[in-house]
Structure 1
Amino acid sequence: MRLVLHSSFCWIVALLSVIGTTEAIAATVPSHPIVAGFERFFTASSTNLVKGGELLLSELRCVNCHDSGEHKERIPTLSGPLLDNLPTRLNFDYLVEWLSKPHASKPGTLMPHLLSGESEQAQKDDATALAFYLFSTSPFPASREAASGSLENGRRLYHSIGCVACHAPEEAFKPGEGSAESVPEQIKIASIPLGNLQRKYSHEGLVGFLLDPVKWHPDARMPRTPMSESEAADLALYLSGGNLGSGLPALLPDRIEKGRKRFAELSCAACHTVGGAGESIPALKAKPLAEINAEAAGCLSDSPPPRLPDYQLSPLQRQAIIAALKNLPQAKPLAAAQRVHRHMLALNCYACHARDGIGGPETGRAVYFQTSGADLEDEGRFPPPLTGVGRKLLPQAIKRIVQGEERIRPYMTTRMPDFGEHHAEQFAKTFSATDLTGTIKPTPRDGNEHLTGRSPWGRELIGTKGVGCIYCHDLNGNKSLGIRAVDLLHAPKRLHPEWFRDYLIDPASFKPGTRMPSFWPEGKAVHELVGKNTARQIDSLWVYLTELDQNRLPEGMEEKGNFELKPTNAPIVFRTFMKDAGLHAISVGFPEGVHIAFDSEQVRWALAWRGQFLDAEGTWDDRFAPLAEPLGTNVLQWPLGAEVGDERQFKGYRLDARGVPTFLYQADTWEVEDTVEPIAGNLRRTLTLRGGSPSKWLGLLSRHHGEKIETLDDRVWSAGAVQLRLVQPATARTAILQNNGSQHLIVSPEFDAQGEAKLVMEVRW
């Protein structure tokens, strides 16, 4: 059941839902700032405090005022939350309360108390002035929306999608099916505090934050968990009780000016930017980190003097920071493995993932990691270990994963969040630099083609008459015959082929306790195919998966007689023998229902059509069948005269992230990139030319035997049933040439300083 809460009843709902808000979430009230990595790895003993102190110096933003100089890689500078659009996000009364007493408002916060040396009244006055200033820099919302959502669904989401890996669970909540433990154990590692979200956010503001926290806190440790707007509304209702928020204040100019002055005096700009007013307030700078006395004084004292930030540090935190300061003169540059470890510490990756025997879900939180695939046991519940992940995953796959773009384990309720592009790029570099070594044996390619695999062998191996991968693994969206492990479709886009080979030979050495057996124990094949040649068998699996969209499903999964290719979620690029496109045809089917065929022998676009794509029977099962023809309707013979150049040589194609191919070829002296893709039921063609003569004209359309090219509008022409519109460049010269009863529409490409020209045109029929 979903609720829609009208404003007149919001206070009732907020009161009734207290059992489901942050008030009821169990957590020991912390007396010091909670940095997750420090709490887990540096509080058990006073050893190794230098690393813990360096972590604190960065996470507490000490180096935003005290420049770390040559140690920026070791102790990076981090920004605080952006202060834009506060009226649409936060409650004014809470902001005043927060600025006057941050540690009382949110125990465990990393925000220092900057007004602690003032009287109670002065603190409130300054905090109010600062709040007025910050609210003045952005427009006020016309109104605030009433809360909507399902409180119970929000409660379930909070305890299942990964929130409690960092934050405290609600004591009264009992995990449901999909977890091995029935009663949670005590949580021993301090949780990252939530604070009073009812007072802090309006419901609308909290929904917006949950959908994209990285937008407002680029350097914070709260990632974006993939969720729908509906789920965000449910979660916000659970966390804040559907609070509409306090009223918006009438802005007072004298208070605003005082707040602006205090913002500068307190050096708030060292951590925060205020962009709504388009102004920049410079930050004040303190002593460089290397010049600070390593002693319990200043910010590090029990009671910092007035005008200095008060972090409420614990004795152990002070000890760790002092140890790090003392070690600074002899600190050496970090190795790649150290950079990985510190990055994972900072982002609290160890809350979910283990690497090199460190981390993984804490015992008290393990019950909240659940699965819908009970047969997979712990492999279906817990996020995978990251030991050797740089050897396993391609750098581009690591980037996608860290940005939350790939969810290949739908049975796992915990969701991989998005930490943003910066962290994704850093992890892609450091994981690869750490885990890829020169000792990895290459796969049998490059001059050893006689050792490589073949797609038909891979199909046989993966099916029920081979090693039976499909008994456990889904394949291209088709359900496995048994338990439902990772879809093998993703393997070529994610994995290094060398890792794929080595993992199949000895899965347990990569993932102790895995249920994955070895069909090549000690490197010896158990299946008779290809003379029990292990290298060729495994490579055949790899080739089959790489060309999966070109191949039949394996035995045990294929429905007999069904050879229709259906591009439902992504384009299908399929080589075939095709009428009007030749024996070297490459057809491209799009989910939008508009398809094309390219003749790679003549190097030209040949056909376009709408509706169904192709039947692959003649390619896969019966070489004596007639040439393939489009299954759809509105078949268009691609316009004559649209070929680039006279002498053409095909050089292959590449796929973009969406699976759309760009065809590459040489045309006369031009290097050509040629892409066609659907747009509003028709097609858009993008040509990129490099090299060649800048003064040469390019053909777009031709008509023969007295037929004419009609000019319909500015840069729009027709030839029979075809219309062509030149979209880019808008200033390119065009002309229609007459020659012995034929007409030719030509264009003069415009080349930039780098010798590149781009033409974009739309083809309608």
Structure 2
Amino acid sequence: MPPPHFSTLDAMRPALLVWIITTTAATCFGQVYDTPEQAMEDPDFALQGEYVDTTRGLQVIAMGDGEFQVVTYTDGLPGAGWNGKDKKSIEVDDATLETLLRNFKRVNRQSPSLGAKPPSGSVVLFDGSQKSLNEHWKDGAKITDDGLLVQGCTSIDTFGDYTLHLEFRTPFAPGARGQGRGNSGLYHQGRYETQILDSFGLDGKMNETGGLYSIRAPDLNMCLPPLTWQTYDVDFTTARFDSNGKKTANARITVKLNGVVVHRDVELPKSTTAAPVKEGPENGPIYLQDHGNPVRYRNIWVRPRDLQAEARRPIVPAFERFHSAAGDGVNGGRLLLSELNCVACHAAPEQLASLVQPKKAPNLDKVGERVHPEWMMKYLADPHAVKPGTTMPDVLAEMSSLQRTEAAIALTHFLVGQDTIVSSGDSGDPIKGATLFHESGCVACHLARNDKKVNAATSIPLVGIEEKYSRASLEQFLKDPLAVRPSGRMPQLNLAEENVRHIAQYLTGDTTTIDFGDQRHLPEEPNMRFAAYYKGVSQMPKLDGMTPDKTGVSRGLDISVGQRNSDVILRFDGFLPIAKTGSYSFRLGSDDGSMLYIAGKRVIDNDGVHPHSFKEKTLKLKKGVHAIRVEYFESGGEESLTLDWAGPGVQPGRLDHAIVMDRESAVATQSATSVDSPTPTDQEPASSDDESDSYVYNEAIAQQGRQLFSQLGCAACHVRNDDGKPMSSSLTAPALVDCDASKGCLSAEPTSTPDYDLTSVQTDALAAALRAGQPAEPFTADARLVHTMKTLNCYACHERDGLGGSESDRNSVFVSTIPEMGDEGRLPPPLDGVGDKLREDWIHHVVSKGDKSRPYMKTYMPRFGEKNAGHLAKIFASLDQRTEAEITPIADTPKKRVTLGRQLVGSKGLACVSCHTYGEFKSSGIQAIALDTMTKRIREDWFHRYLPNPQQYRPGTRMPTGYPEGKSTVMNIYDGHQSKQLSAIWAFLEKGADGGVPEGIVGGMKELKPIDRPILYRNFIEGVSPRGIAVGYPEKANLCWDANQMSLALIWQDRFIDASKHWDGRGQGTQSPLGGGVTKWESVSPIAVLEDLETNWPTTSAKERGYRFLGYRLDKQGRPTFRYNAVVANVQDKLIPVAGDLGGTFDRQLIVTPIEGVDIAGTVYFRAAAGNVQPLPDGGFLVDDTVTIRIQSDGAKPIIRKRDGSSEVLIPIAGSTTITQEIIW
């Protein structure tokens, strides 16, 4: 029966509407086909559908009588690559369409949730059987002969909060238009409609498929072609009403259409117009509207939801995204086996164990320095209430409330002990932290904390983080999360240290940071006793039993009392009066090592040889008198020792001002500041019961916690060392293959096993994985890859093989510093074919250590750790790598290939520099990924295939081809031969930053260009002494002559130098040559005196050998001749550039003139070359396979000699000599 408020007119309204529409449709809309077999009668049915090429997606809509509407989407189809903006529509006939489709491939997409099986506890409304029709649908519901539900029916069952799965199929009605084309509707509770319509290729309005009728349009039109089975997967939260029937909260809904979220947690402020059930507190039915069109339904099930229990479930993002709709239960269960670390207790068979890669629990050593003990007690007592979504099971679930509290306290005392949370250090900027949190990649996995709404179900919770951590302890954790959580589920983002601090400040809101200041004056009077030990050490030794070399009293921590500044150990002793029980922070700084002891217990360990550095500690101290000792050693170099403190009533400052020399003085001091002074005895560094609301360490309680840690099985998951040994669990559990899927942790009834608060979907998935057991065959590489990418949540950012990528509501959290780059500049790249594109060693580096090769992308590629992700490199390579490129060998010299490659990437070639940076230099346009690091990342084979056709490998990329239709746009290099040009570009890229800056790179540059005369540049040149003199010649040959070594240090070609580093600002640093062919030629002067030919060439500096630089002279063309005195002779060194096709070369002329009266015959030599020297047929020499030299002298012949594995070419100089050397490279 309809509800009481369901009037007779309401009941008649749908029937009247159906009659009107049916009558109209029959006369206006032509033939309607409700099965694919019938539709094949119309030739247009075979042409309609979806198509793709490398850059576009097409949706072809049949309009009847051979007419079609073609909708073109840039970059791919909706939900499969479309950029969401560029869309065009044209109308064509069948002949034109067939011509158009010749270059496109037909695709038949299916919803990923098609055929989803109902989880346990679900109500199966329709499974194709007459029985389900009779039991769950009101009179009048019909079923077709082939077992499909006909539109126009209402469920008997009513529902409140629920998850629904439904499959529907719209008819093929090419002659129909608008709302007459396959119209129906899914009404939730009979009140709120999600529209069903053949809206394939339309705009995606609120009255089309995916729309919330009269309320909201879908985020994306994901409607598939007519007569394709489609799915709705819906999470519905009913409206809330108070006891008086007043609505207190609107209904909310999340809708997936064909696996894509089109509404995320949308509020439903009203019921749909003409809905059969009015809003009210009662549950409502599922109503499938009859709009006069033959829409068919199948596989309909509803799982009632307990929202409070659901909120407590463990959140595993990849499970929620890919398996929560009850599809692929076995793999979903295996994912949960990993993420819930089931194998920590239940041994897995070998093959399954190799796949699972469990999420190990946090390491609990020193956990008291990371988390507040008060938070830990609450968390252990009820983990799913304190941190909803945690994967930590409740191991105290079967205890009474009192028992749970006592157990949680005991465990906390054992785990925290006397450690105190790190709380000092510099404050961060919460505003910067908020920006970094929302832009650096955190929100890919976590909920946004601003007004941005993202999917909570796929978000790892951060509930109560401000209660768990201090700012300093969270900062410490974020710097290296793998040290605590070793399985990589929380990777390291490689943020700068100050940025980590900002994020920690933002997340915790912690304002307890202590600024210790920098005051360093000593007390006026001696107040400590010291002992000095004259001994050199690199680690602090045990001083007990050692005899000091000197003793006495000191003014605080005065390290001068040791009367040495190296190889000395100092021990300072005194007493610290504490007037009020509370938490006190200490900071010990030293160069080199130091230790702080309070009441005989080591509090801070700052040991080792190191520059001045700080260690900090916060601990609770009872009011009373505490013995204090500081140990310090200095190995050598700088020496320093500081100790600061702060606490209740104590301003941050030097601790040694508060110390007194003996107990009596300490008691007197303490009494003067405390009315209720205790008996003057040493107190343990822990609090008393004065602060009853805070954690107070108790050894007896800690012993109970130690036993519970083993008995409850905590040690099965967590690493915890006790007395230097890892603890073990005393629990025993059956092997995974022996587990009963209906018992233990998966039991529907309460048990003594850990309670994960699993949903029925999660339980079913785990049960399916257990039933599947050990696979018969080893897991494929692809299965291993997908499983690992799910466990590490790679799919939150990256798409591969149609799986994953940023969720629609998270898409906008990925941002770029260069908006003009579009999605390529902000979204993490898809991983299709990544093992073909990237070198295996580079993939290993990126996943293991993280990377920032795309500086324009604000999201960081994190470091997952080699153990967790390093194996992905080989898997990607095995699945993707191809060797298909036709690489044409080039007979040119390496230098020529590099030079031509540099020209090709330059502005007068293929203009790669218009978008790509090079080293420190910016491009002339957008700042895309750097050229000089390409070959570290990219495989050559892929490079040769990609450049001619970028769209084939990355549809929608902004990267243009330089080879349209296979023809080069640059014909003056290798006659436009594509393969040879690509080989030349690769040769240039392989040189990295040493290939020479291509022409057209101008960002921030002050390039010096020799046009008519040489340019001399006297500044710091990289690789040359501070007295380098660089000369650039119009002939595109350049050099740097070293006036310290009297040598030709560097030669290079093409562009000269960028002066911006030295002409802007303070002019600090060294500058590299701009051009290519940079060659280090001479490291020492080429003129030397040798006793004989067995004497090694001198390596000492020219200055040490007595050489003197005499300056240089310029000829009429402005070319310098460098002059120097070589003790026994004066030398003139002039280099004359020779222009060439690719760059200049040098003719070098050296004139050696002996000092008057000095006979240099047989002792002075010119070293023309050193290295791998090969004689050439024409009498020249090839040096290091790069430089060709030819030498002419006044009659002397070159001598080749071997020295230390290399060769030297020497020319003897007997008297006044002119040597000509041709240098070609």
TM-score, length-scaled by structure 1: 0.69
Query: Which of 407, 412, 419 does residue 852 from structure 2 map onto?
Result: 407
Structure 2 Cα separation of the partners of residues 581 and 291 of structure 1:
81
CA gap 1:608/1:374 in 2 versus in 1, 3 angstroms: farther
Are 1:203 and 2:203 an aligned pair? no
Query: Which of 154, 177, 194 does residue 433 from structure 2 map onto?
Result: 154
Partner SS for 1:54: helix
Q: How does 1:321-340 map to 2 (within 5 A)?
A: 321-340=766-785
CA gap 1:362/1:567 in 2 versus in 1, 3 angstroms: farther
Query: Which of 281, 286, 304 does residue 727 from structure 2 map onto?
Result: 281
Structure 1 Cα separation of the partners of residues 802 and 400 of structure 2:
50
> Which structure has the larger Rg?
2
Q: Which amino acid aligns with 1:372?
A: T
Contact kept, 8 Å, 1:90 with 1:201, in 2: the verdict is: yes
Partner SS for 1:400: helix
Structure 2 Cα separation of the partners of residues 609 and 66 of structure 1:
74
Query: Which of 378, 388, 399 does residue 823 from structure 2 map onto?
Result: 378
- 4+ residue segments displaced more than 6 Å: 26-29, 450-453, 562-565, 574-587, 591-605, 607-610, 616-620, 646-653, 667-672
Contact kept, 8 Å, 1:350 with 1:359, in 2: the verdict is: yes
Provide the residue aligned with 1:67 in structure 2: 347
Structure 2 Cα separation of the partners of residues 374 and 193 of structure 1:
30
Are 1:361 and 2:806 an aligned pair? yes
Provide the residue aligned with 1:85 in structure 2: 366
Contact kept, 8 Å, 1:594 with 1:609, in 2: the verdict is: no
Provide the residue aligned with 2:758 in structure 1: 313
Contact kept, 8 Å, 1:63 with 1:76, in 2: the verdict is: no
Q: How does 1:178-193 map to 2 (within 5 A)?
A: 187=455, 189-193=457-461
Give CA-to-partner distance per residue, 1:149-190, whole Å, 9 cap, x none.
Answer: 2221111111111111111112435xxxxxxxxxx6x63743
Structure 2 Cα separation of the partners of residues 228 and 474 of structure 1:
23
Contact kept, 8 Å, 1:505 with 1:519, in 2: the verdict is: yes
CA gap 1:90/1:491 in 2 versus in 1, 3 angstroms: same
Q: Which amino acid aligns with 2:735?
A: P
Provide the residue aligned with 1:217 in structure 2: 485
Q: Which amino acid aligns with 1:207?
A: E
Contact kept, 8 Å, 2:493 with 2:860, in 1: the verdict is: yes
Are 1:485 and 2:753 an aligned pair? no
Structure 2 Cα separation of the partners of residues 536 and 565 of structure 1:
38
CA gap 1:598/1:38 in 2 versus in 1, 3 angstroms: farther
Q: How does 1:82-481 map to 2 (within 5 A)?
A: 82-136=363-417, 139-140=419-420, 144-145=423-424, 148-172=427-451, 187=455, 189-242=457-510, 244=512, 249-275=695-721, 277-283=723-729, 284-293=731-740, 295-306=741-752, 308-437=753-882, 439-441=883-885, 443-445=887-889, 449=891, 454-481=897-924
Structure 1 Cα separation of the partners of residues 1205 and 867 of structure 2:
34
Q: Which amino acid aligns with 1:292?
A: C
Structure 2 Cα separation of the partners of residues 221 and 493 of structure 1:
27
Give CA-to-partner distance per residue, 1:385-410, whole Å, 9 cap, x none.
Answer: 11111111112211222244431211
Are 1:556 and 2:1000 an aligned pair? yes
Contact kept, 8 Å, 1:132 with 1:255, in 2: the verdict is: yes
CA gap 1:243/1:200 in 2 versus in 1, 3 angstroms: farther
Q: How many equivalent residue pairs?
A: 585
RMSD: 3.9
Shift of 1:299: 0.5
Contact kept, 8 Å, 1:373 with 1:483, in 2: the verdict is: yes
Partner SS for 1:624: strand
Are 1:35 and 2:316 an aligned pair? yes
Shift of 1:276: 6.4
TM-score, length-scaled by structure 2: 0.44
Give CA-to-partner distance per residue, 1:283-310, whole Å, 9 cap, x none.
Answer: 34411111112x322100134412x100
Contact kept, 8 Å, 1:390 with 1:431, in 2: the verdict is: yes
Q: Which amino acid aligns with 2:387?
A: K
Q: Which amino acid aligns with 2:1146?
A: F
Q: Which amino acid aligns with 2:364?
A: L
CA gap 1:575/1:652 in 2 versus in 1, 3 angstroms: farther
List gaps (5 residues or longer) in structure 1: 1-25, 174-183, 569-573, 611-615, 629-645, 654-666, 673-765
CA gap 1:241/1:346 in 2 versus in 1, 3 angstroms: same
Partner SS for 2:324: coil
Contact kept, 8 Å, 1:149 with 1:230, in 2: the verdict is: yes
CA gap 1:671/1:319 in 2 versus in 1, 3 angstroms: farther
Contact kept, 8 Å, 1:603 with 1:649, in 2: the verdict is: no
Give CA-to-partner distance per residue, 1:240-286, whole Å, 9 cap, x none.
Answer: 11164996644322111111111111121111111364122223441
Structure 1 Cα separation of the partners of residues 849 and 878 of structure 2:
22
Provide the residue aligned with 2:947 in structure 1: 504
Shift of 1:577: 10
Contact kept, 8 Å, 1:352 with 1:382, in 2: the verdict is: yes
CA gap 1:482/1:139 in 2 versus in 1, 3 angstroms: same
Structure 2 Cα separation of the partners of residues 618 and 116 of structure 1:
86
CA gap 1:300/1:171 in 2 versus in 1, 3 angstroms: same
Structure 1 Cα separation of the partners of residues 477 and 1136 of structure 2:
51
List gaps (5 residues or longer) in structure 2: 1-264, 267-306, 514-581, 584-619, 621-694, 1024-1036, 1053-1067, 1073-1079, 1087-1094, 1104-1134, 1151-1169, 1175-1182, 1186-1200, 1207-1225
When you count helix as a share of all residues, which structure comes out higher?
1
Identity, % of aligned positions: 34
Provide the residue aligned with 2:49 in structure 1: none
CA gap 1:298/1:494 in 2 versus in 1, 3 angstroms: same
CA gap 1:331/1:115 in 2 versus in 1, 3 angstroms: farther
When you count strand as a share of all residues, which structure comes out higher?
2
CA gap 1:204/1:584 in 2 versus in 1, 3 angstroms: closer
Structure 1 Cα separation of the partners of residues 363 and 1097 of structure 2:
52
CA gap 1:262/1:379 in 2 versus in 1, 3 angstroms: same
